[in-house]
Amino acid sequence: MATDLRVSLTDRCNLRCTYCMPAEGLEWLPGDDLLTGAELIRLIRVAVDRLGVRELRFTGGEPLLRKDLPQILAAAAELRPRPRMSLTTNAVSLARKARQLALAGLDRINVSLDTLRPDRFAAITRRDRLDDVLTGLAAAQDAGLAPVKVNTVLMRGVNEDEAPDLLQFCLDHGYQLRFIEQMPLDAQHAWDRAKMITAEEILDRLSARFTLTPEPTERGAAPAERWLVDGGPATVGVIASVTRPFCAACDRTRLTADGALRTCLFATTETDLRGPLRAGASDEELAQLWRAAMWGKARGHGINDDGFAQPDRPMSAIGG
């Protein structure tokens, strides 16, 4: 059963990461195509009330660009059973918003951070905002949005040498680090498997400085394999979507900012919920569309198959 719903709030972003989009950005969705706050909450309520969703992850684009985010969080927090809520952000504007988000009902936060070096940060994101991100991380910790998780993508010839430094930084500050294998979800369709740093390589680099032992608890549907660092209790995780797929345990569904339901991050088909919703469909009719889509969920993402086709939507338009 898909109990974890990823909700994209916008396709817009205030960074221009090289592995996500071109320097000039993308053609953003027209405003009328985006789900309104009321429409988002209705679909979330259907998911919680009728489909057993218990975890909500708000994504983008950059979800902090959504002005009604606190209201959406507060409304979702009123649902029963109350879903656990998290959010993935680049943290550029998190410092001034973290406490408000916590008060609205957000439980925890994930922050994307690929380097601790200002020059590299500017090169990767095409923006000079590293200090804002680091300040945002600290603000999230202070606001109680724990555990604060850091998501890192390593790229060959760009930042792979920073793996141990990033882990030490997270250990020093009480953050939980997750390395993510780079996936074929860029708008340019320029992903190259040879340039991807694999899970095995990540672990080898970390093991040069730290002692890693497998975390003994069951992984369940969690995407990250976890290792105890120097005996624990601190851990580090690796999300190896390409080299160690975990599709059989996947419990996630994705709702795009324009109301399309996706059963997989790499799906090439979608189910439109915005159209029926705006045409007057009942909650049960929306739930039936949702169930039908999930029954058709593919067994795997197929990245390693010869016939794999990258989705037309880039990551920013899908939601992580």
Token digits for 132?
């804002």
Is residue 20 annotated as involved in ligand binding? Answer: yes
Q: Other C-beta atoms within 10 Å of 248: how many?
A: 8
Is residue 19 annotated as involved in ligand binding? Answer: yes
Is residue 80 annotated as involved in ligand binding? Answer: no
Is residue 170 annotated as involved in ligand binding? Answer: no
CA 103 and chain centroid, separation: 22
- Conformational region of residue 283, where left means phi above 0, alpha means psi within -120 to 50, and beta covers everything else: alpha
DSSP secondary structure string for all residues of 14-55: S---TTTS-TT---PPPGGGSPPHHHHHHHHHHHHHHH---E
Is residue 13 annotated as involved in ligand binding? Answer: yes
Give the three-class secondary structure for 148. Answer: strand
Is residue 315 annotated as involved in ligand binding? Answer: no
The letter for the amino acid at 208 is: A
Is residue 25 annotated as involved in ligand binding? Answer: no
**Widest distance between CA atoms in the chain:** 59
Is residue 243 annotated as involved in ligand binding? Answer: no
Report the C-alpha gap between 36 and 22 in whole angstroms.
Answer: 28
Is residue 61 annotated as involved in ligand binding? Answer: yes
Report the C-alpha gap between 253 and 245 in whole angstroms.
Answer: 17
Is residue 297 annotated as involved in ligand binding? Answer: no
Looking up tokens 């959504």 gives 66
Half-sphere exposure of 167 (CA within 13 A, CB side): 27
* Cβ contacts of 134 within 8 Å, gap of 6 or more: none
Is residue 155 annotated as involved in ligand binding? Answer: no
* Cβ contacts of 282 within 8 Å, gap of 6 or more: none
DSSP state of 83: P
Is residue 209 annotated as involved in ligand binding? Answer: no
Q: Other C-beta atoms within 10 Å of 2: how many?
A: 21
Q: Other C-beta atoms within 10 Å of 74: how many?
A: 15
Is residue 16 annotated as involved in ligand binding? Answer: no
Is residue 57 annotated as involved in ligand binding? Answer: yes
Give the three-class secondary structure for 141. Answer: helix
Extract the annotated binding site. 6, 13, 17, 19-20, 57, 61, 88, 112, 149, 183, 247, 250, 252-254, 264
Which residues sit in the known binding site for [4Fe-4S] cluster? 13, 17, 20, 247, 250, 264
Annotated binding site for S-adenosyl-L-methionine: 19, 61, 112, 183
Annotated binding site for GTP: 6, 57, 88, 149, 252-254
